[in-house]
Amino acid sequence: MENPLHPLGHQVLSAALEANGTGSASLSRMSRRGFILAAGSLAGCAVAQPLGMTNPNAESVRTQANTAYRTPVIPGQSTPVAPVTPPPATGTSPSSGITFSRVQCPGKYIAMTYDDGPHSQHTPRLLEMLKARNIKATFYLVGTAVNLYPGIVRRTVAEGHEIGNHSQTHRLLSKLSDDEVRKELTGCQDAIIRAANVKPRTMRPPYGGLTQRQREWVHAEYGYPTILWSVDPLDWKHPGAAVIGQRILAGASAGGIVLSHDIHGQTVDCMPATLDALIAQGYQFVTVSQLLAMKTAAPAKS
């Protein structure tokens, strides 16, 4: 498929390399996202290979069906599959909090979340892995990527996963004016509605950056609770699939929200073994809205 970002690829890649050369722990907000997209567009180009941004062995990771696991039936919800036009998430009124990095819930439930996609190759691979295990997850999508791959968004929704708003261009929202934040959130929301006819229920700010004041007005205007995470494997630093999996397993807990990125080959590579280990430990997988709903339905004593 022709990638409209291809003409920009080398230019963005150069900017990203300069940013990386400063020794910063993270690429700048523009260049990290641009770098990811550029690396994707340069997948067939030798320049991208030594940087580890693409994984030539990605296709060697096979998905084994794990038919023993069953998608959990959530109390008060007739179906585990997200409805096409979802109601606002419950349990997120101002009085019960509008920011969540984990919840207290009555069982060993966990929410897998995947940010920054969709990716043309890694997201479909991940969807196969999830389908083979009857696992439903939540994808925090970037509007520009939604516009590039609307078919993958439709597939993600059709397979029962939840979609969240991760802004239009992945900027650090805490540094933006309210009007700029509105443009970011509305742009992404509109892209998701155009692509798959669903409205996101929650949002995750890029880099976790959203002030309390912003969280409050975003919740009031969009109905989005701000979703952070309880486990961050730092997969975007490419520590290797085994390390990513170890970090997720080490951080997993009941009511937890696992952050990772399905735009990185290593992250997707680690998923079959990581998901199977979580299943073996008795975890049940729910979407973020399901997790929040369980908090309200049956709050556990902490």
How many residues comprise the chain? 302
238 part of the active site: no
Annotated catalytic residue within 219, 261, 262, 269:
261
261 tagged catalytic: yes
Considering beta carbons, is residue 69 or 140 the nearer one to Ni ion? Answer: 140
Minimum CB–partner distance for residue 183 and Ni ion (Å): 17
CB of 162 to Ni ion, least distance (A): 16
CB-wise, 66 or 186, nearer to Ni ion?
A: 186
Least distance to Ni ion from the beta carbon of 81, Å? 25
Residues 6+ apart with CB under 8 A from 138: 111, 112, 113, 114, 161, 162, 163, 164, 202, 287, 288, 289
CA distance 110 to 285: 5
The residue among 193 and 228 lying less far from Ni ion, judged by its C-beta, is 228
Q: Which strand (E) or helix (H) includes residue 111?
A: strand 109-115
Binding positions for Ni ion, rule: CB under 5 A: 115-116, 206
Rounded to a whole number of angstroms, the minimum distance from the CB of residue 140 to Ni ion is: 7
When the beta carbons of 109 and 114 are compared against Ni ion, the nearer one is 114
Could you tell me which residues come within 8 angstroms of residue 169 by beta carbon, excluding any fewer than 6 positions away?
33, 142, 143, 144, 184, 187
HEC per residue, 5-21: CHHHHHHHHHHHHHHHH
Single-letter code of the amino acid located at 3: N
| Enzyme catalytic residues | 115, 261
